[in-house]
Structure 1
Amino acid sequence: MARQSPRPQGNRTVEPSAEFDVEFRGVAKRYGDVTAVSGIDLQLKRGAFIALLGPSGCGKTTCLRMIGGFEQPSDGDLLIAGQSMRGVPAYRRPVNMVFQHYALFPHFDVETNVAYGLRQIRPRLDDKEIRRRAAEALDMVHLGKFAKRRIHELSGGQQQRVALARAIVNRPRVLLLDEPLAALDKKLRIAMQLELQNLHRELGITFLLVTHDQEEALSMSDQVCVMNTGRIVQLSSPQDIYDNPASLFVADFVGKTNRLDAVVEHQGGSVAARFGNGLVLPLTRPDVAIGKAVVAIRPEAIALQPATPASTGLVGDVTHRIFLGSSVEYSVAVAGLGDLLVFADRALQGGAASLYEPGARVELTISPAAPHVFSHDAA
């Protein structure tokens, strides 16, 4: 690829970046008195698969639309491949987008839908090259035999693949995915998650996925960028986001968690969390602040066993059981703490023998390494 020429920006020149495909530099976006995005600094490495994850209204789609050129930043700058995109229209940016509802042309067949973007290129490509590249894109998404089908003759998953083929046929530098799997049923979503991962590896281009579905974000991406109220609250690997949430919001939003009020205090040479029912739980995590706190405990970090008259630990009563096949979700009422959510892996618990009926008395065990402790004021 030929080296891009530096692009003037104000009184300075920005050199094209070989490392980052997309950069947000202090980007803010306002709509009148409403601030949708505030002070975003973010760098997307070339060839990465990044997920923007957060609740509705957190600013993730606004960020995607600014990259695509459908919105312009109110403040700051946005660069693609080292070049400022300020004032650059959507059709001149090296990006393509797959929309949530696909936006396919119903009166065109599959091949014509995929080739549409190629026919807008100037100088114009010849028909043979257009057909070749459209066929190549369709083969990538396993729809080579469907080129002459009408859109209404395709299933939802096939239509989603047509939208993907249309997005990649122009060989964009960045592929933007705006909740592309939201309209699919669960089984098809899982299959398409694998397809997108395979496509990412095959193409080697940067993928940016916007979703509010934590399972999609964690299973598909290299890095997850969690957003809330227009800001980035944590950017890390999927495993780190789940295992080491930076805030109570992240712990709550990514996965399920039990929130318990406690007081963190010194206990000998270590620290422990004291709960309202008198339970004292030793803590092994470093840098835990002394004082009022909110303790977050993942449901799978709590072990269950039948309670006995001799049980002196944390004891409660099963109030609800949700059978999930390979695992079971329990709600356990504990005096002074309320209802705790517990996940039990049936393979580790002995299959059907591990099922507890509502009303069963159980003993709960929490590892000292399991709790995440957050300042009560920050919560």
Structure 2
Amino acid sequence: MAGQQTLDIEFRGVSKRYGDVTAVHPTDFAVPKGAFIALLGPSGCGKTTCLRMIGGFEQPSTGQVLIGGTDMAEVPPHRRPVNMVFQHYALFPHFDVSANVAYGLRQIRPRLTSSEIGRRTADALAMVQLAGFGARKVHELSGGQQQRVALARALVNRPSVLLLDEPLAALDKKLRTDMQIELQNLQRELGITFVLVTHDQEEALSMSDVVCVMNGGRIVQLGAPDEIYDRPADRFVAAFVGKTNFLDGTVLESTDGAARIRLANGMEISARQSGAVAAGAAAAVSLRPEALRLGAPAGETGLSGIIRNRIFLGSTAEYAIEVPLLGTLLATADHNAAQSDLLKPGDRVTISFNPGAPLAFPASDNKTSQRETSHVEVVS
């Protein structure tokens, strides 16, 4: 349990209000040492406010923020064992790379010797694969190199916690993917806690050990990336994290963890439950695009539809398929599958799906609006 672990970050009843607006509702939150956690959610959900309260750039309206077991009330940002990498890096354009990285070291009291500053600066640049770049000006660097300088500057003071405020948002897709891998490797090598704020689901799922999904100033679900994707806690998480299709239906039978549902077109299916769905009630069934198969195996009944759009993505192709009474469903097919290259808009297809794929939610899933307090622990 978290109480038996060394915790780097704790929120105890923390909330944040701006006048009449509540940005973060009362929340208990515990992050053990060495975790890589992503705060994920849409704009305005409270994730950046949480990050800024950890960093000391905002003070909570209620509750306590603890770092390493110490209450951070009234402790200014520069006195906390935390450093932050900003979205736009915030590098000093009139400094060279070494001076940017060494800036934090020169603020330490008692002062470090010049040789110590030089050694630690060189070590930090080598850590982010920029050895030999110290004399260059910031404007002479690529976007990815500037991002590495910002990382080196944040790490050179050896913080207990590194805060990352959408640090990859300004990079192109290929460079962003490369930097995701480098950040993962760096975090494992250093063993310090990383807290990443992002609205990019792919980034959160691919980089972190734990994903914290937020909405409306509350924590909706916290868990491992595969748990968040495969077992979303409510309809919001299912819709926000990745792509999904929602099919309307009526619950015929409900047992512990499973339900029998009749879809709007009369087809009956079995589904896992997320939240209680009662017999006779309306339900929404989530089906991920990759769970849909184009074509039904022998002996199985499928859904019949017409392809309206095809999006070619290289290794896969996405098809928007209009199914009578159910609407348009998105299906993802392997590009190497024999049939996928032959399908085009206007083609009629049969769709089937893996038996364990459907996940049922109450039709009016309002758990998020009902939750008054979020209490979560990150378990390593």
Q: Normalising by structure 2, what TM-score?
A: 0.91
Structure 2, unmatched stretches of 5+, are: 367-380
User: For residues 75-114 of structure 1, what are the structure 2 equivalents within 5 Å?
Assistant: 75-114=62-101
Q: Which residue of the partner structure matches residue 242 of structure 1?
A: 229
1:206–1:353 Cα change, 3 Å = closer
Q: Which residue of the partner structure matches residue 332 of structure 1?
A: 321
**Residues of 2 paired with 1:50 and 1:295: CA distance?**
29
1:161 to 140, 148, 164: 148
Q: Which residue of the partner structure matches residue 43 of structure 2?
A: 56
Q: Which residue of the partner structure matches residue 314 of structure 1?
A: 303
Matched-pair contact (CA < 8 Å) for 1:306–1:361: no
Matched-pair contact (CA < 8 Å) for 2:10–2:65: yes
Matched-pair contact (CA < 8 Å) for 1:307–1:363: no
Cα deviation per residue 1:252-278 (whole Å; 9 max; x = unaligned)? 000000012111112999842111111
2:283 to 293, 309, 325: 293
2:132 partner SS: helix
Structure 1, unmatched stretches of 5+, are: 1-15
Matched-pair contact (CA < 8 Å) for 1:331–1:339: yes
Matched-pair contact (CA < 8 Å) for 2:312–2:318: yes
Single out whichever of 237-246 and 272-281 deviates more from structure 2: 272-281
TM superposition shift of 1:142: 0.4
TM superposition shift of 1:367: 2.5
Letter in 2 for 1:72: Q
Q: Which residue of the partner structure matches residue 13 of structure 1?
A: none
Identity of counterpart residues, as a percentage?
63
Alignment of 1:138 onto 2:128: no
Alignment of 1:281 onto 2:233: no
Matched-pair contact (CA < 8 Å) for 1:307–1:362: no
1:302 to 292, 297, 308: 292
**Residues of 2 paired with 1:283 and 1:171: CA distance?**
49
**Residues of 2 paired with 1:268 and 1:147: CA distance?**
64
1:146 partner SS: coil
1:65–1:17 Cα change, 3 Å = farther
Letter in 1 for 2:178: A
Higher relative contact order (CA 8 A, sep 6+): 2
User: When the two structures are aligned, how many residues end up with a matched partner?
Assistant: 361
**Residues of 2 paired with 1:244 and 1:140: CA distance?**
37
2:26 partner SS: strand
Matched-pair contact (CA < 8 Å) for 2:51–2:197: yes
Letter in 1 for 2:318: E
Letter in 1 for 2:111: R
User: For residues 4-15 of structure 1, what are the structure 2 equivalents within 5 Å?
Assistant: none
1:215–1:268 Cα change, 3 Å = closer
TM superposition shift of 1:355: 3.6
Q: Which residue of the partner structure matches residue 266 of structure 1?
A: 253
1:53–1:353 Cα change, 3 Å = closer
